[in-house]
A and B are shown apart, each in its own frame.
Chain A
Amino acid sequence: MKISIPVDNNSMESNVCASFGRAPFFLVYDTETKEAVFVENTAASGTGGAGIRAAQIIADQGVSALLTPRCGQNAADVFRSADIKMYRTNTDSLKDNIEAFIKGELPLLEDFHAGFHGRNRGM
């Protein structure tokens, strides 16, 4: 199964990135083959709609799950349409989160923020 995680650096020693849409890289990891690919997040520098674009990038990688500390509503809508499950990371360490996910210890991410750029205010 392929999973994806927003990360600060393109290395397995990296921390999980605190932001989803503005993360510099996404790790695409195959839990069976242990293959790890770092994908650059070209949406990170965009002026708006970064979460949507980032979600598109991840969906195009054919992953089944996203591990992230948080996620905006727009990106969550894309993941939902793409049938990608979202899980909440529980530490900063990339490796620890992958292990926790494989053991089934990560909870589903179910609350999404309305965006940091004035989108969906009051909705």
Chain B
Amino acid sequence: MKIAVLSGKGGTGKTLVSVNLAAVAGHSTYIDCDVEEPNGHLFFKPAIAREELITVKIPQVDEKRCVGCRSCVDFCNYNALAYVNKKLIIFDDVCHSCGGCVLVCPESALSERDKAIGEIEIGVAGDVNVYTGNLNTGEATGIPIINRLLEEGSAEGRVPIFIDCPPGSACIVMESIKDADYCVLVAEPTLFGAHNLNMVYELVKLFDKPTGVVLNKCMNEKNPVEEFCLDKNLEILGRIPFDHELASLNSNAEIVVNENEKYRELFSGLLETIVDRVERESASHEPNRVHEATAGDQERHRVELEQVCGEKVYGKVTADNQKGHNAEQEKACGINDFDEPGEHCIEREGANSEQHQEPNEMEGGAE
């Protein structure tokens, strides 16, 4: 079971969600595919068992053989080669390692050499196997590193596997989710957040992946992301509050589920929901991504929620109102946003906390 965690931009909480899901799952695998700015290891602090250099093939020229025909220069679609003053110049940074120049050279003057672009680290933190990829600064693409990470991480067979994706919706994200059984989209409660969510939503739709959304940094305010999910019939798997304690723990690189029981309950509930969706998906074998929660699910979640929260559950959940009416919900919840039944939430705390912590800021910088 492979669960990818994505978001349209950095700093939304992908690492928070994937690290804590892996931690709460116990026996699991965590793969940090955000190779430009990997942060997961800051939380797990794994004991590194093995490191592996990741290389790509770059052409090199045997000047004695080169006759200056420029077949390679003309062939290269990336313009990584130039021929001036009877000399071939190779631009390593521009080369995409396609190997075409070596094939077209009629004099066999070109051969390939390995060029290191980064490394992967395989470590262990308790029962969690932690795989981290590091792309060297200035390299064009981390895809070879991501491929190796996914290959290594899957080989061990310690499931579930949580894939912490790079931010955005570019090639490196597609590479990260291509074998995922389920995609968890994390979004911030802003218009910008809804816009960025749409980007990754379009992507996972293209890949026909079953998908659900985790709302992070939830406040007692209207949430445009929630409206987006309703509009697209996207399931909201859970809500993480904008919470000072959670923010403090996370910014100190603590795994929150290990620090406070209420967070453990929050993430274990989220994990349970996700596992349930993946199992349903594999049972049905249907490409349909969106699952409507049944009345039974709703009631089960409500009970769980009350146990988790100890006191307050937003949204009175019954079979009658599970489709939801905003006004009714608002009245029942005392909040002004529509609280979809069937997800986990915990008491919202002070809205002035700063959950946007350093590791995630770094993630933002990776865009």
Contacts and interface: CB of A to CB of B under 8 A. Distances in A.
Contacts of A46: 77, 79
B82 to A, nearest CB: 5
B94 A122 contact: no
B85 A47 contact: no
Interface string B108-141: 0000000000000000000000000000011010
A77 interface: yes
Contact of B94 (A48, A56, A121, A123): A48
Interface residues of B, number: 19
Interface of B is mostly: loop
B138 A123 contact: yes
A56 B88 CA distance: 11
A49 B91 CA distance: 9
B73 interface: yes
A52 B81 CA distance: 8
Contacts of B78: 47-49
B93 A78 contact: no
A97 interface: no
Most B CB contacts (10 A, CB to CB) among A43, A50, A119 go to: A119
Contacts of B93: 119-120
A122 B137 contact: yes
B319 interface: no
Interface string A64-77: 00000000001001
B94 A81 contact: no
A118 interface: yes
B94 A82 contact: no
B292 to A, nearest CB: 43
Most A CB contacts (10 A, CB to CB) among B78, B79, B80, B81 go to: B79
Given A78-B89, A83-B85, A120-B93, A52 B138 contact: no
B170 to A, nearest CB: 12
A120 to B, nearest CB: 6
A103 B29 CA distance: 69
Contacts of B192: none
A52 to B, nearest CB: 5
- Chain A interface size band reads 20 to 34
A122 B84 contact: no
A78 to B, nearest CB: 5
B312 interface: no
B94 A74 contact: yes
Interface in B50-97: 73, 76-85, 87, 89, 91, 93-94
Contact of A56 (B73, B137, B138, B140): B73
A23 B123 CA distance: 50
Nearest to A51: B79
Interface string A102-122: 000000000000000011111
Given A78-B84, A81-B85, A120-B93, A50 B79 contact: yes
Interface of A: 43, 46-50, 52-53, 55-56, 59, 74, 77-78, 81-83, 118-123
Given A77-B91, A120-B138, 5 more contacts: A46-B79, A52-B79, A78-B89, A118-B140, A119-B94
26 contacts: A46-B79, A47-B77, A48-B78, A49-B78, A49-B80, A49-B91, A49-B94, A52-B81, A52-B82, A53-B79, A53-B82, A55-B82, A56-B79, A56-B82, A59-B82, A59-B84, A74-B94, A77-B89, A77-B91, A81-B82, A82-B84, A83-B85, A119-B93, A119-B94, A119-B140, A122-B137
